[in-house]
A and B are shown apart, each in its own frame.
Chain A
């Protein structure tokens, strides 16, 4: 097997393990730490895809900043260990299992029966990125040219989220 494939399998397996553990950990702090594990492995996968900048951002922003925020919230709100939330409706668990399995088999069917790699390749191939002068240059020039409008829309989204959060959190408005 190619070393790349081996690394991918390693990262994917650990990421999946972390994701499962996020769900089944009884202590929320452990959940957050397992999420960190998953995020770090996803960053590794980005590296394998030649997306160095995204990998760095994944580590800095998600693993670094956002998870620290999560950790603060969890530790501030934590009142001892809590039992796993139980599904209250009797039908909920079987239906959830059925729907989950249905989606899983659908995905398996799609991956096994269709030639997913046979679609059209996007324009941002490694060669095109190398021509643009590397990851950061390519991303930067794309972000401020082709994706200028979505970029601006995202800024309005952040603005309204901030306004709303301040309104909901402040007592005297």
Chain B
């Protein structure tokens, strides 16, 4: 028997290898030297993430590498999402360290799980084989379930983790069932082979391939928190430690969107006329439900969870306009995911900062924050205005380019609807700002020192404002990543 070894190009995998090695080193360090004082574990994790970031930036300009028998491809698309995910992970470490220290929960375990989750997310967006993609999705999901329940002595954290885990397991099974149908009909798990099969619409097997597509959209719809598959989102986002919510609402969503965009545009491009309308319906109900239910929330953390659902709807609008001849819709999703990192992590980060000060996340706790902590109040206002899509923040461009995608694809009514819903969303974002700046403070807050948290929030703030000016390189990179002008 002859065994043919696959082509292995480790150059494509360096960032992932760096992250796995860092996670393993962390585990070994815990065994050799448990309970190290200071921010040692955080700095080690940051070092690993920084190395991965540098390696990814080196990959950014080079030609696409397809390796491991066609299961992995490091192209501009993968590099773009890897940068988004790494940026979110780095910010998450900055935001988490002080929370972990103040609550005295297992730091090395937290960072190990975080790093492995990051590896899973990068795998999800780099896989060109549905088997690898599914394993990446799982390697992303299992750590996020764990992180949701990381405050293991708090009931809400346990409850959120349990709900997330059960519904996440179901959604993974549905996704897998869809992938199996696709494999059964096309005879291959490779995305290029699937794309060749569906190029003419699927022929005799068309109903079967459409069923596969439907199951895949359902399964990944859970992961991106699209309505009606959003049931886990408010409870998981509210129950999870706030720093974890920040991480998973950004990085997890980016990775799931990366997997969805890659599957739909690279494995099923021939069926864009079929999945496009499905996504239009999903995006409309997602935008409506997310943004309208957010209005009646009294807890800002839960409100941001519903706002995260609403943002999923905005991103789905962009993706639904994609067709092989008009790829800008996918670029708008990539662009959105990048900008969303700074705004959303910043908003949740300020809430975590308040909690570390002994405050809570309800509107009452935010009353008069301006008079007590002007910097925090101003930052939160900027992040919320960004999420709203206000000029002078990067949020404006996210909405503008999704709208441009709808206009180019002839879905202008959908773009107009999106802008109208954004205006409705302003109600609940601005209400928080009004309570912070115009109400009298009700509750006192303590002031522990949170050095790393402040750095993380500053980076998020600079990103939100700075990218309003310097958005062109990101947009150009996103366009190149989805194959515009290539």
Candidates B69, B139, B152, B204; contact of A114 at CB < 8 Å: B204
Measured CB to CB, the nearest residue on chain B to A116 is B208
The answer, yes or no, to whether B381 is at the interface (CB within 8 Å) is no
- Determine the chain A residues whose CB is within 8 A of the CB of B211 once the complex forms: 106-107, 110
Contact A133 B1 (CB under 8 A): yes
> Contacts A114-B205, A160-B112: A153 and B139 contacting too (C-beta < 8 A)?
yes
CB distance from B148 to the nearest CB of A (A): 11
Measured CB to CB, the nearest residue on chain B to A138 is B1
Contact A145 B6 (CB under 8 A): yes
The answer, yes or no, to whether A168 is at the interface (CB within 8 Å) is yes
Contact A157 B146 (CB under 8 A): no
CB distance from B208 to the nearest CB of A (A): 5
CB distance from A156 to the nearest CB of B (A): 6
Alpha-carbon separation in the docked complex, A54 to B298 (Å): 53
Measured CB to CB, the nearest residue on chain A to B126 is A149
Q: Which of B65-110 contact A (CB under 8 A)?
A: 68-69, 71-72, 105-106, 109
The answer, yes or no, to whether B131 is at the interface (CB within 8 Å) is yes
Alpha-carbon separation in the docked complex, A94 to B145 (Å): 30
> In terms of DSSP, what is the predominant structure of the interface of chain B?
helix
Contact A110 B186 (CB under 8 A): no
How many A-B contacts at CB < 8 Å in the complex?
A: 126
Of B56-64, B113-121, B257-265, B326-334, the one with at least 4 CB within 8 A of chain A? B113-121
The answer, yes or no, to whether B135 is at the interface (CB within 8 Å) is yes
Contact A157 B186 (CB under 8 A): no
Chain B 114-155 interface 0/1 with A at a Cβ cutoff of 8 Å (1 = within): 001101100100000101100110110011011001101000
> Contacts A114-B205, A153-B123: A141 and B3 contacting too (C-beta < 8 A)?
yes
Alpha-carbon separation in the docked complex, A121 to B282 (Å): 33
Measured CB to CB, the nearest residue on chain B to A154 is B135
Contact A163 B109 (CB under 8 A): yes
Chain A 157-173 interface 0/1 with B at a Cβ cutoff of 8 Å (1 = within): 10111011001100001
The answer, yes or no, to whether A150 is at the interface (CB within 8 Å) is yes
Contact B106 A173 (CB under 8 A): yes
Alpha-carbon separation in the docked complex, A118 to B185 (Å): 8
Interface range, B side: 35 or more
The answer, yes or no, to whether B187 is at the interface (CB within 8 Å) is yes
Candidates B1, B5, B71, B204; contact of A132 at CB < 8 Å: B1
Supply 13 further A-B pairs (C-beta < 8 A) apart from A157-B120, A157-B139.
A109-B207, A119-B205, A119-B208, A133-B1, A145-B69, A146-B69, A147-B69, A150-B131, A150-B135, A153-B120, A156-B116, A160-B23, A160-B116
Alpha-carbon separation in the docked complex, A118 to B138 (Å): 31
The answer, yes or no, to whether A122 is at the interface (CB within 8 Å) is yes
> In terms of DSSP, what is the predominant structure of the interface of chain A?
helix
The answer, yes or no, to whether B372 is at the interface (CB within 8 Å) is no
Alpha-carbon separation in the docked complex, A57 to B107 (Å): 38
Contact B117 A160 (CB under 8 A): yes
The answer, yes or no, to whether A115 is at the interface (CB within 8 Å) is yes
Listed by A's residue number, 26 A-B pairs whose Cβ atoms lie within 8 Å are: A116-B205, A116-B208, A118-B205, A119-B197, A119-B208, A122-B183, A122-B188, A123-B188, A145-B69, A146-B69, A147-B69, A150-B129, A153-B132, A156-B116, A157-B116, A157-B120, A160-B143, A161-B142, A163-B27, A163-B113, A164-B113, A164-B142, A167-B109, A168-B149, A168-B152, A173-B106
CB distance from B207 to the nearest CB of A (A): 4
- Determine the chain A residues whose CB is within 8 A of the CB of B183 once the complex forms: 122
Alpha-carbon separation in the docked complex, A150 to B68 (Å): 9
The answer, yes or no, to whether A88 is at the interface (CB within 8 Å) is no
- Determine the chain A residues whose CB is within 8 A of the CB of B116 once the complex forms: 156-157, 159-160, 163
The answer, yes or no, to whether B452 is at the interface (CB within 8 Å) is no
Measured CB to CB, the nearest residue on chain B to A131 is B1
Measured CB to CB, the nearest residue on chain A to B193 is A120
- Determine the chain A residues whose CB is within 8 A of the CB of B391 once the complex forms: none
